[in-house]
Structure 1
Amino acid sequence: MKSQYWDRETIEQYQLRKVQNILLHAGSNVPYYRDLFKSVRFDPKKFKSLKDLERIPLLDKESIRKNPEQFIADHRNTIHGYWKQTTGSTGTPLKLFLDRDCHINKYAATLRAYHWAGYSPGKRAFLLVEPGGLNKDFRYRLTSNSIFFDTRAVNRENVRKFYRLLKRFQPRYYVGYGRAFLLLYKYLHELKLDVPSPRSMVHYGENLMENDRVKLEAVYRTKVYDFYSHREDTVIAADPEPGKKYLMEDFFYPEIIDDQNQPIEEGTGELIGTGFYNYTMPLIRYKTTDILTVKKYTEANRYKFTQVEKIQGRMNDKITTPGGREFYFMGEPIFNIPGIISAQFIQDKIDHISIKLLTDDEFRMESTDQVKKNCKDYINEQMVFDVELVDKFEERGSGGKRPIIISRLD
């Protein structure tokens, strides 16, 4: 992608053109934005500067969750697309509609990030995939020349079985959740099995802590590249080299806002994203709830994108089952139950989890049994689940963080 080598002026001109196009489209074709622009007296035809975007109110997850159809363009039936749900890593699973052009551009941006790590389609790869991504615990897929291992299935016995496939296939690149790879290493080490060393590892799906990066690079004897994105397809960041991350500003327009919702150019604040490519369900000034520390681009840098020094977000504890498996996300079991705004999972015993729910008027008390059943089916081990309706979640630390998964196991 030539855009990675653009100078800053070209990047900003491209952003202005893309934002203009999405605003004109949304104002004419999307019910939510037609009403919003009218209420705040915003005319997309008069949009001349990226600074003008600040006149549009910020968009939060709850607005989308309550009425996703209001964000769908009138011409949806004429565009190839599909419904998609988020993992609920922030506690609020969302239902989204993504069109083909958005998917293609997200795929291209993802391939660029993987290319920085040395990977390209067809090269032998090993993916530790998210829950629900497989119909088997592990398998080989000819079309991608890759082997896959479901994170939910990583336990001592399955690792012993999977190791034969791993040694026979000898993948050059590893892709997946860092904590899942650390768990895999733990079992390989306990089983006294050699730990294969790939050419590189691409981490995604959760916040990569620096101590985890150091540990992964040490035990797998390789370099770790971090890839950050959302299923909403409004933001992407990646490492052209290990530990040096940039916002991909040719894919979206980013803003960083402080505690007063005021944009800042450098420092720490919440990442706001406006996607360029999803014309079926455009999200404008979308609040990611992730806190980033950023630096302005400099001419000395090879890439003239905004540099990310730190990401604070989507870092939950994990659920550990009696069988030794680990779960990092729990959005799937609650996604299709009406009335659930958000959920928090607190594990106080190896076989017990307390589920805290924030709900609205659509929620029915009999749905608590469905929540428990879905969670039991999802984890598929002997565990007890209790459900409690609450007004607010448990916080951690002075910053008011509300982890979606809290573990109180020793």
Structure 2
Amino acid sequence: MSHNEHLPTTEAPNPLNTPLFTERVEFLKSSQWWNKEQLDQFQLKQLQHQLWFVSSHVPHYRELFRSLGFSWQDADSLSVLKQLPLLTKQEMQENPKRFIPDYMKADRLYHRSTGGSTGMPLTIFMDLDHLSRDKANTQYYMSTMDLDIFHFRSIRLYGDRVPEEQLSKGHFWHQANDRMLTMSCYHFSKETSPLFVDKINAYSPDYIHTRPSAILPLASYILELGLTVSAKLVSIFADGEYLTLGQRKVIESAFKTRLYNVYGHTEGCVFGHACKDSDNLHFPPQVGILELIDDEGHTVSREGGRGEMVTTGFNNKMFPMVRYRTGDIGVLTNKQCTCGRHYPMLKAVEGRFQDYVVDKHERLVPLAPAVFNYNDFDWRGIAEFQVHQTRAGHLVFKVHRDQDCAESVEAMTQRLKTDLFPIFGKTFEMDVTYVDGISRSAIGKLRYLEQNLDIQKFSRTFSGV
């Protein structure tokens, strides 16, 4: 969900104050208990309307449908989507105005740019209606944990920079508004972590909104130093990155509360949330259609099957996406959740194609489950790290050591080679290099992998770690 947002030159109403926001929240709350037949019927009507709209008003789809001999009137079931090709980010990048309705000018729209974690940033155009629906999604999923946007205190730990005047006082946070404290994720150390914990306890938030790589260093210091978080947190909401079981264990142990994972993307086609009963991601069908597509282009249907998440969104009429390739890999579950919602669910989102490395056999191997398995490797002495790949079968680990690390470089290198690298098997050559720091993206995201290979060329060759 991370993005940089830009507004038109004229000041627009706050999307939280629009009638559509209120109406949409109430709709999502009431329709969450619909049965599967009701949800399927709603999705089909929304799909029919979307296909009519794009064929009537959006140049890209109008020409595409004409070339295929496809008519929106043929959409008598959701399976009609299979007649349409997948949409790539590159297609949208090359001529974004072809995806804007022909009656609308781009300079009258808001736009957001993705953080570029896939190495391919994309600008998304939208109107106030879409912003209102997007905020309603947030209000809805928070309500599933008995929270909301308006009445609870929160801490935002998300890559935001704290004003210099605060930092000069040794304050690594600032009060963003009367309900939200923003903290820096750039100043964690053994010396500062007790200060962060003291501030969290004093502020006593109801929840924390974060991304895994932002809060993980603080959680690790809390456990290492034996610090106590006494604030009674209802939940930690984490989004924007792949969350591993190892990360979840560390964060939940440190903060003594449940981590509530949320899937979202700047494109806004779908979103997924956990519930009180399960960590599985529930994807509300009212927002859009989620498909899982395997390497052969077939729909994934078996329990535990993996596939690329392909989405068709209902919320954004100003930049509609039909069968959009997200680059994210989902793990399917067909089980019905005990919460009572009849939503499609994923066991996990295993990160983007760019979160995979390529072994010497040109197979894709997911990186995060290996490097974040906290039961198998001792990360003490390592402040940050980043993996680089420029050729198949070869990885370079760039390591930023803790300032007070007593272990020699030679000993740490040997420990990496002995305890971590064997997790990958014998299909990689690995080197270690030491650096003074790891840079973050413009939106504060620490990319643990800098992948310079074109991963989609290898997408037919999954492996497992």
Q: TM-score, normalised by structure 2?
A: 0.66
Q: Which residue does the alignment assign to 2:398? A: 348
After TM superposition, the structure 1 stretch with the greater mean CA deviation from structure 2, 183-192 or 273-282, is: 183-192
Unaligned runs of 5+ in 2: 1-28, 165-171, 356-366, 372-380, 388-394, 402-437, 443-449
Q: 1:124 to 1:15 in 2, by over 3 A?
A: same
Q: Which residue does the alignment assign to 2:291? A: 255
Q: Which residue does the alignment assign to 2:319? A: 281
After TM superposition, the structure 1 stretch with the greater mean CA deviation from structure 2, 211-220 or 181-190, is: 181-190
Q: CA RMSD in A?
A: 3.6
Q: By how many angstroms is 1:282 displaced?
A: 0.3
Deviation string 1:119-154 (CA, Å, 9 cap, x unpaired) is 21221111111x3566565211225x0111233444
Give the counterpart of 1:93 among 121, 124, 130: 121
Higher Rg? 2
Give the counterpart of 2:348 among 291, 310, 320: 310
- Counterparts of 1:1-400 in structure 2, within 5 Å, are 1-77=29-105, 81-121=109-149, 122-129=151-158, 131-132=159-160, 138-143=173-178, 145-156=179-190, 159=193, 161-188=195-222, 193-197=227-231, 198-241=233-276, 242-266=278-302, 267-296=305-334, 298=336, 302-314=340-352, 315=355, 348=398, 350=400, 399=462
Determine the C-alpha separation between the residues in 2 that align with 1:189 and 1:162. 14
Does the aligned pair in 2 maintain the 1:79–1:99 contact within 8 Å? no
Q: TM-score, normalised by structure 1?
A: 0.74
Does the aligned pair in 1 maintain the 2:106–2:125 contact within 8 Å? no
Determine the C-alpha separation between the residues in 2 that align with 1:389 and 1:193. 39
Q: By how many angstroms is 1:392 displaced?
A: 7.1
Does the aligned pair in 1 maintain the 2:263–2:281 contact within 8 Å? no
Q: 1:90 to 1:346 in 2, by over 3 A?
A: farther
Q: Which residue does the alignment assign to 1:371? A: none
Does the aligned pair in 2 maintain the 1:271–1:291 contact within 8 Å? yes
The residue identity in structure 1 corresponding to 2:219 is: Y
Deviation string 1:244-292 (CA, Å, 9 cap, x unpaired) is 3212211111111121112233432111110001000001101112121
Q: 1:307 to 1:55 in 2, by over 3 A?
A: same
Q: 1:328 to 1:230 in 2, by over 3 A?
A: farther
SS where residue 76 of structure 1 aligns?
A: coil
Deviation string 1:4-47 (CA, Å, 9 cap, x unpaired) is 10110110111111111111111111111111111111112332
Q: By how many angstroms is 1:307 displaced?
A: 2.1
Unaligned runs of 5+ in 1: 330-344, 352-374, 380-386, 402-410
The residue identity in structure 1 corresponding to 2:32 is: Q
After TM superposition, the structure 1 stretch with the greater mean CA deviation from structure 2, 18-27 or 235-244, is: 235-244
Q: By how many angstroms is 1:182 displaced?
A: 2.2
SS where residue 108 of structure 1 aligns?
A: helix
Determine the C-alpha separation between the residues in 2 that align with 1:70 and 1:325. 45
The residue identity in structure 2 corresponding to 1:348 is: K
Q: Which residue does the alignment assign to 2:416? A: none
Determine the C-alpha separation between the residues in 1 that align with 2:291 and 2:226. 48
Determine the C-alpha separation between the residues in 2 that align with 1:153 and 1:119. 29
Determine the C-alpha separation between the residues in 2 that align with 1:14 and 1:147. 39
Does the aligned pair in 2 maintain the 1:151–1:327 contact within 8 Å? no
Q: By how many angstroms is 1:84 displaced?
A: 0.5
Does the aligned pair in 1 maintain the 2:331–2:347 contact within 8 Å? yes
